[in-house]
């Protein structure tokens, strides 16, 4: 598609924090978090993502995937544990991670243009009481071009399709000048064609060195298009390649239902019956 092809040859993104030699892009150690008045939705979560890796986060409904992402970016407090980005402590780093929330968490009726939405991602660069200048708008347009949405920059955000809106929010996250993206269920509610467009954007960014961490229920996509998989259900069940994660033991622990694993050459198909208890009660993925 012309829109997608336009973004492929852009130069690598400048990182918001310099990569200290040997430091992971994102390090999470012993993380526990939840909501006020409720027990912890996640507990003792530990994993490390190396610069330029793509990681798919998997687990049943209520497993705590959204809670994990919100704790990493500082939207909810964590009760214990440690988060760092390129060796920087959480207080300095979690706000620099580009975050694309779940589709349902956004009010699409808000009357702003596509460019205005992406400019919101530059709030840290703008600071207080400063209007965007020419360089800011050029930076916004550059990120829109990277995700194949520059032609739609003056549209009202509510006029776009679901897949196009998600690509705009990826551009908004990139406008923070970060090289680490967290995306919470970006394929939810979009058709196969729109999902493939989003995945093409993410793979192009991955090729440019952007670290991608994405929550999804699509196990086939996770197995075939991501470097590593993180399987959780309130705690880490397994972390590694698809062969290491997609085992009967690990999937049974995570989903607590009937599990089927079919391997045909390099392709792995996982069939899960989630009608058993999921283990979580926070209503989140």
- Which pLDDT tens digit goes with each residue over 105-115? 666 677 789 99
Name the pLDDT band for 256 (thresholds 50, 70, 90): confident
Structure tokens at 80: 């214990």
Name the pLDDT band for 259 (thresholds 50, 70, 90): low
State the average pLDDT over residues 241-270. 77
**Is 242 a residue whose pLDDT tops 90?**
yes
d(CA 127, CA 200): 33
Question: 237 and 80 in contact (C-beta within 8 Å)?
Answer: no
Name the pLDDT band for 284 (thresholds 50, 70, 90): low
What domains can you pick out in the chain, each with its CATH number?
A: 2-12+21-272 (3.40.50.300)
Q: Which residue has the higher pLDDT, 162 or 232?
A: 232
Report CA torsion sign: 231, 29, 208, 93.
positive
DSSP structure string for the chain? -HHHHTTTTPPPPPPSS---TT--SEEEEEEEE--TTS--SEEEEEEEE-TT-EEEEE--TTSSHHHHHHHHTTSS-EEEEEEEETTEEHHHHGGGSEEE--GGGS-TTS--BHHHHHHGGGHHHH-TT----HHHHHHHHHHHHHTT-GGGTTSBGGGS-HHHHHHHHHHHHHTT--SEEEEESTTTT--HHHHHHHHHHHHHHHHTT-EEEEE-S-HHHHHHH-SEEEEESSSEEEEESHHHH--HHHHHHHH-S-EEEEEETTEEEEEE-TTS--S--S---
Segment 15-72, tens digit of pLDDT: 444 455 678 999 999 999 987 767 778 999 999 999 999 999 999 999 999 999 999 9
Mean pLDDT of the chain: 82
Name the pLDDT band for 271 (thresholds 50, 70, 90): low
Q: Can you give the pLDDT at residue 14? A: 42
Question: 26 and 222 in contact (C-beta within 8 Å)?
Answer: no
Q: Which residue has the higher pLDDT, 206 or 16?
A: 206
């Amino acid at each position: 598609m012309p829109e997608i092809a336009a973004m492929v040859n852009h130069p690598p993104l400048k990182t918001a924090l310099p990569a200290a030699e040997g430091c992971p892009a994102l390090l999470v150690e012993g993380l526990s978090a939840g909501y006020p008045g409720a027990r912890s939705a996640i507990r003792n979560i530990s994993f490390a993502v190396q610069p330029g890796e793509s990681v798919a986060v998997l687990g049943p409904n209520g497993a705590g995937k959204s809670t994990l992402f919100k704790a990493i970016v500082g939207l909810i407090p964590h009760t214990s544990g440690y988060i760092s980005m390129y060796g920087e402590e959480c207080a300095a780093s979690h706000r620099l991670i580009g975050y694309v929330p779940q589709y349902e968490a956004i009010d699409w009726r808000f009357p702003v243009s596509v460019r205005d939405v992406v400019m919101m991602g530059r709030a840290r660069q703008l600071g207080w009481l400063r209007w965007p200048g020419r360089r800011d708008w050029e930076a916004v347009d550059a990120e829109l071009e990277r995700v194949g949405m520059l032609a739609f920059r003056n549209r009202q955000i509510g006029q776009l399709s679901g897949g196009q809106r998600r690509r705009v929010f990826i551009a908004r996250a990139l406008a923070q000048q970060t090289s680490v993206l967290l995306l919470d269920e970006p394929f939810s509610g979009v058709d196969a064609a729109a999902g493939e467009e989003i995945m093409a954007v993410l793979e192009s960014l991955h090729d440019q060195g952007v670290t991608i961490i994405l929550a999804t229920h699509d196990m086939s996509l996770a197995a075939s298009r991501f470097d590593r998989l993180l399987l959780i259900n309130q705690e880490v069940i397994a972390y590694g390649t698809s062969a290491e994660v997609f085992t009967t033991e690990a999937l049974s622990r995570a989903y607590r239902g009937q599990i089927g694993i079919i391997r045909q050459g390099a392709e792995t198909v996982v069939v899960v019956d989630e009608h058993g208890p999921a283990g979580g009660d926070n209503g989140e993925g």
